Amino acid sequence: MEQETVFKRIQEADMVLVGLGEDFERWGQLRADPAWRRGRDGLREAGCGGLLPAWTEYGARRLGQKGPGDALDRLASLLEGKNYFVVSLSMDSAVSSVEAFRGRLVTPCGGVRDKQCPNGCTGTVAPLVEADRDALDSAFGKLFEGTFTPEDLPDLGRCESCGSRMVLNNVYAQHYDETAYLDSWRQYTGWVQRTLNRKLLLLELGVGLQFPTVVRWPFEKIARYQQKAFLCRVHERLYQLPEDLAAKGCGIAQNPIDWLEHL
């Protein structure tokens, strides 16, 4: 489908539901860098998978690699004046930093903004403070240089209930505390209910198969059962649509960030 046609569908839609996938994280740009890979593997071996989203952002900054910010700003400008909602699998802080998405965004996988008790103690989710970010940068600097030891794990404070060291609040935490996004999720599901009998565009950008039950399969279900819905799926490899949606959608074989920047 031509970009002009997609642009026209955005403009003509009553409502637009956007799904942002893993392609809006920066790890894909870093896989060729040995220092970043060594750090990634070290965090996994230490049982610190929850730090991976922050480690990815640090690596991208350290290597001067471009993030998804320009593409997200372009998306926000395309959606200006529309009734829309964004559900994002990306844990990159660039997504939650888009001011236009405020009140229209849910991030069910968490990210690098909040911390929680590693044991899932209730009521412990709290935003990161400057000291936490300094601790992360200090630890990641040593990890990047190859001098990191377990004693260098970042200190993000202690859980007031059990005394354990706090960890980042995201899906890679051993006991992920989902309370931080539940209010936004309820807002999202209520918004989806109001799309019935409306001209709805489902814009799925860079969504792979890591968490298909959150975006990919629900978007297909909405497209399948809502008469006025149309699904536009943009992905370099996984752009195909089910056969029964061939007339109600399109698959675009492009990198979604590049595609957005040229839309």
**Does the structure show a pLDDT above 80 at 100?**
yes
For residue 47 the two structure tokens come to: 């049982």
In this structure, are residues 209 and 223 in contact, taking their beta carbons and an 8 Å threshold? no
Q: Which one has a higher pLDDT value, 65 or 108?
A: 108
Q: Which one has a higher pLDDT value, 101 or 26?
A: 101
**Does the structure show a pLDDT above 70 at 1?**
no
Angle at 144 between CA 120 and CA 142, to 5 degrees: 75
pTM: 0.94
206: pLDDT confidence band, cut at 50, 70 and 90? very high
Q: What is the pLDDT of residues 215-244, one digit of tens each?
A: 999 999 999 999 999 999 999 999 999 999
**Res 151: pLDDT:** 84
Q: What is the pLDDT of residues 141-177, one digit of tens each?
A: 999 998 888 888 899 999 999 999 999 999 999 899 9
2: pLDDT confidence band, cut at 50, 70 and 90? low
Q: What is the 3-state secondary structure (H, E, C) of the chain?
A: CCHHHHHHHHHHCCEEEEEECHHHCCHHHHCCCHHHHHHHHHHHHCCCHHHHHHHHHHHHHHCCCCCCHHHHHHHHHHHCCCEEEEEECCCCHHHHCCHHHCCCEECCCEEEEEEECCCCCCCCCEECCHHHHHHHHHHHHHHHHCCCCHHHCCCCCECCCCCCECEEEECCCCCCCCHHHHHHHHHHHHHHHCCCCCCEEEEEECCCCCCCCCCHHHHHHHHHHCCCEEEEEECCCCCCCCHHHHHHEEEECCCHHHHHHCC
Q: What is the pLDDT of residues 18-58, one digit of tens each?
A: 999 999 998 777 888 999 999 999 888 888 889 999 999 99
What value does the mean pLDDT of the chain take?
Answer: 94
**Res 28: pLDDT:** 72
What domains, with CATH codes, occur in the chain? 1-25+68-108+180-263 (3.40.50.1220), 28-65+111-177 (no CATH)
**Res 110: pLDDT:** 97
Phi and psi for 17 in degrees, rounded to 5? -110, 120
